[in-house]
Structure 1
Amino acid sequence: MSTSPPARWADFQAAEPAFATTVRDRFEKYTHHVLATLRKDGSPRVTGLEVTFLEGEVWLGMMPGSLKALDLRRDPRFALHANPGSGDSMDGGDVKISGRAVEVTDAGTVAVFVAAVRPPEPFHLFRVELVDVVRTVVEGDRLVVRSWRPGGVVVTH
């Protein structure tokens, strides 16, 4: 496991531009994805949400008082799975990111997000800090898993 601190999306993009583009394209192919958070009792909760790439960051916007937002306020750890799409093809592979979601309340930052995304207000806004990025894809008859962690390089299994 990496001992490096979490990374911003821009850090990942600078370190591994081709992999970052593949991951972003996979998330941007569909609107809705699956977020896993931790409930008060430590059990997992999975819910749908939209993901926004803006200003070198990954942003998660949520309805006010939503359980997923309350989960992240209490424990910022999360996993986010890109929508696998329809059918059995998994076109573009299976992509997941995990890390910490940091709530952002700075009026200037929120205003930039609102101007670009125009979300329904009010809302909770979280900035993603990456600890792991994984893409699993079938290449020929082989299952290929590529992963990246801050301070490292893409590893292929």
Structure 2
Amino acid sequence: MATWAEFTAEQPDMAAFVQGRFAADRHALIATLRKDGSPRISGVEPDFARGELWAGMMPNSLKSKDLRRDPRFALHCTTTVASMTEAGDAKISGTAEFWTDKDAYLKDLFDRTEWQPKPEEIDLFRFDVTEVVQLTVEGDGMIVLSWHEGRGTRRVEKK
């Protein structure tokens, strides 16, 4: 698994694009796996900070329970027709690590946003990435740029 910093060092332009798409609307969708293996889609606010990709969740929320049981996830930026054609689309997949030492992250969060939940008010996850996808519209076609850990990037044009 690659940390966000490792991915960024390998693919700085793609990382900047993807972070920009997630920053355009702080709300995103995360797919997790339920106990029975079926998918669950939930809202989440990903945070790119300190060279890592993070997300805080309500303690013991269903998505938090899902990730603690099975750490695989897929994250998708908020996309509208306008944002897809004007700005593009971004997706990230990988695994989540339940983070118990929250102090440094919460201090950094406060320094950046002036918001600091109490440690017991948040289940914190740090995400490693195995796949990152960037989609853009060019003319009447779509460009899909995908990165997979250990395989590098691949570009596909779809008409």
* TM-score, length basis structure 2: 0.88
Q: What one-letter code is carried by the residue in structure 2 that aligns with 1:57? A: E
Return the alpha-carbon distance in structure 2 between the equivalents of residues 137 and 56 of structure 1: 25
- State the shift of 1:151 in Å: 2.8
The answer to whether the 8 A contact 1:38-1:44 is kept is: yes
Return the alpha-carbon distance in structure 2 between the equivalents of residues 107 and 142 of structure 1: 44
Alignment correspondent of 2:144: 145
The answer to whether the 8 A contact 2:83-2:89 is kept is: no
Alignment correspondent of 1:53: 48
Q: What one-letter code is carried by the residue in structure 1 that aligns with 2:35? A: K
1:129 correspondence with 2:128 = yes
Task: Indicate how the Cα distance of structure 1 residues 89 and 103 shifts in structure 2: closer, same or farther if over 3 A, else same.
Answer: closer
1:27 to 12, 22, 28: 22
Q: Which runs of 5+ in 2 are unaligned?
A: none
1:16 correspondence with 2:15 = no
Alignment correspondent of 1:120: 117
Q: Which runs of 5+ in 1 are unaligned?
A: 1-5
Task: Indicate how the Cα distance of structure 1 residues 39 and 113 shifts in structure 2: closer, same or farther if over 3 A, else same.
Answer: farther
- State the shift of 1:112 in Å: 3.5
- State the shift of 1:92 in Å: 1.6
What fraction of aligned residue pairs are identical, expressed as a percent?
A: 46
Return the alpha-carbon distance in structure 1 between the equivalents of residues 46 and 108 of structure 2: 12
Task: Indicate how the Cα distance of structure 1 residues 88 and 108 shifts in structure 2: closer, same or farther if over 3 A, else same.
Answer: closer
Name the SS of the counterpart of 2:152 in structure 1. Answer: coil
Over residues 108-157 of structure 1, what are the superposed CA-to-partner deviations in whole Å (9 max), with x where a residue is unaligned? 44444553453433100000100100012211111111001223332101
Q: What one-letter code is carried by the residue in structure 2 that aligns with 1:70? A: K
State how many pairs are aligned: 151
Return the alpha-carbon distance in structure 1 between the equivalents of residues 104 and 46 of structure 2: 16
Return the alpha-carbon distance in structure 2 between the equivalents of residues 89 and 62 of structure 1: 26
The answer to whether the 8 A contact 1:110-1:125 is kept is: no
* Bigger helix share: 2
Return the alpha-carbon distance in structure 2 between the equivalents of residues 92 and 12 of structure 1: 21
- RMSD across aligned positions (CA): 1.6
Return the alpha-carbon distance in structure 2 between the equivalents of residues 111 and 80 of structure 1: 22
The answer to whether the 8 A contact 1:148-1:155 is kept is: yes
Return the alpha-carbon distance in structure 1 between the equivalents of residues 97 and 61 of structure 2: 16
